């Protein structure tokens, strides 16, 4: 094995080995039915090496530039942190992805400095793009499940339960979903001593959805003013369903415009060939 192959194989092995392990651990933790069970400690041989690389002074200095640590923390937080990474490990994987991309481009004879730098930048941003997709997926799932949760919460409040007690009852019957995970964090924060107002504000910050912001603000104002919350929540659930129908109608209205270009490129030429092809062949044959 030559030195070039070794330089390519080592980052590939590190990324695939540790990435697959993190993925399996995230799937295992997602299938757990109780939120308070601690995850077993990782015993992978490469974990200590990765922690050593993530804790280098270079990583710490990079995380100080222009609020990079805060941006990475928010991205991991809102994506649900599916692999259990901290910010240093996340940055280390981005650096490995950038190096691996540059090595592959160099191996494929793309030796231009501009191409190598651009490839390294794309490799560095690839994990950010993936985590952003996870954020969008979680927000879509939370948005879809939120009206049902608000209805059940209003029913629990009408039966005399406290807000967080009703939330715990609802969590016990929910399947593992992004909304369930966020509600579990809400209950856990309150159990650990965080004031309810702050825990609700943390929920709104993590989810980063207008409906969650409105719901938490409504709950906080209702508790401060002493007004009935159950009736307000039922009306709000109906309003959210109306908004969801409006969004669906808006997307349906945009669909014909989005389909126009693919139809012009892929569908209409085939139709023209099928219709006018035989006529053109007949004309060519008659002239001959």
What number is the average pLDDT over the span 183-199?
91
Q: Domain residue spans in the chain?
A: 3-136, 140-243
pLDDT at 82: 81
Residue 254 clears pLDDT 90, i.e. is over it: no
Q: Which of 42-46, 134-138, 162-166 has the weakest average pLDDT?
A: 42-46
Residue 19 clears pLDDT 70, i.e. is over it: no
pLDDT bucket at 253, cuts 50 / 70 / 90: confident
Four-point Cα dihedral 121, 124, 125, 128, nearest 10: -170
Q: Cα–Cα distances in Å, from 266 out to 42, 223, 260, 271, 280?
A: 50, 58, 10, 9, 21
Q: Is the dihedral of CA 131, 137, 141, 144 positive or negative?
A: positive
**Proportion of the chain above pLDDT 90, given as a percent:** 13
Residue 46 clears pLDDT 90, i.e. is over it: no
Q: Under CATH, which architecture does the 140-243 domain have?
A: Up-down Bundle (1.20)
| Rounded distance between C-alpha atoms, residue 13 and residue 22, angstroms | 14
What number is the average pLDDT over the span 253-263?
81
What number is the average pLDDT over the span 131-160?
89
pLDDT bucket at 133, cuts 50 / 70 / 90: very high
Q: Which residue has the higher pLDDT, 255 or 129?
A: 129
Residue 138 clears pLDDT 50, i.e. is over it: yes
Residue 216 burial (CB count, 10 A): 20
Q: Which residue has the higher pLDDT, 147 or 55?
A: 147
pLDDT at 40: 44
pLDDT bucket at 144, cuts 50 / 70 / 90: confident
pLDDT bucket at 183, cuts 50 / 70 / 90: very high
Residue 36 clears pLDDT 50, i.e. is over it: no
pLDDT bucket at 27, cuts 50 / 70 / 90: low
Residue 41 clears pLDDT 90, i.e. is over it: no
pLDDT at 50: 56
**Residue 164 CA to its chain's centroid (Å):** 26
pLDDT at 198: 92
Going by the DSSP 8-state scheme, the letter that residue 265 receives in this structure is I
pLDDT at 205: 93
Residue 25 clears pLDDT 70, i.e. is over it: no
What number is the average pLDDT over the span 93-100?
85
pLDDT at 225: 82
Average confidence score pLDDT of the chain: 78
By the 8 A CB rule, do 117 and 190 touch?
no
User: Phi, psi (5° rounding) for residue 35?
Assistant: -85, -15
What number is the average pLDDT over the span 191-214?
90
Q: Is the dihedral of CA 274, 275, 276, 281 positive or negative?
A: positive
């Amino acid at each position: 094995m030559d030195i070039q192959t070794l330089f390519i194989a080592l980052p590939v092995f590190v990324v695939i080995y540790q990435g697959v392990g993190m993925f399996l651990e995230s799937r295992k933790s997602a299938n757990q039915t109780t939120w308070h069970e601690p995850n077993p400690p990782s015993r992978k041989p490469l974990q200590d090496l990765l922690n050593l690389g993530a804790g280098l002074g270079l990583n710490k200095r990079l995380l100080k530039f222009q609020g990079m640590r805060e941006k990475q923390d928010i991205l991991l937080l809102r994506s649900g942190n599916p692999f259990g990474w901290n910010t240093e490990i996340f940055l280390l994987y981005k650096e490995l992805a950038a190096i691996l991309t540059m090595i592959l481009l160099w191996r494929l004879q793309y030796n231009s400095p501009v191409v190598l730098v651009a490839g390294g930048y794309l490799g560095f941003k690839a994990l950010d793009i993936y985590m952003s997709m996870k954020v969008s997926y979680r927000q879509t799932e939370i948005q879809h499940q939120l009206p049902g949760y608000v209805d059940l919460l209003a029913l629990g409040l009408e039966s005399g339960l406290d807000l967080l007690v009703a939330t715990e009852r609802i969590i016990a019957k929910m399947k593992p979903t992004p909304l369930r995970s966020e509600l579990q964090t809400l209950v856990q924060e309150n159990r650990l001593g965080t004031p309810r107002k702050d825990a609700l504000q943390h929920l709104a910050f993590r989810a980063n959805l207008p409906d969650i912001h409105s719901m938490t603000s409504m709950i906080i104002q209702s508790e401060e003013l002493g007004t009935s919350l159950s009736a307000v929540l039922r009306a709000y659930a109906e309003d959210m369903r109306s908004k969801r129908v409006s969004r669906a109608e808006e997307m349906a209205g945009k669909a014909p415009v989005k389909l126009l270009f693919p139809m012009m490129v892929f569908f209409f030429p085939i139709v023209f060939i099928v219709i006018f092809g035989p006529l053109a062949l007949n004309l060519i044959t008659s002239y001959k």
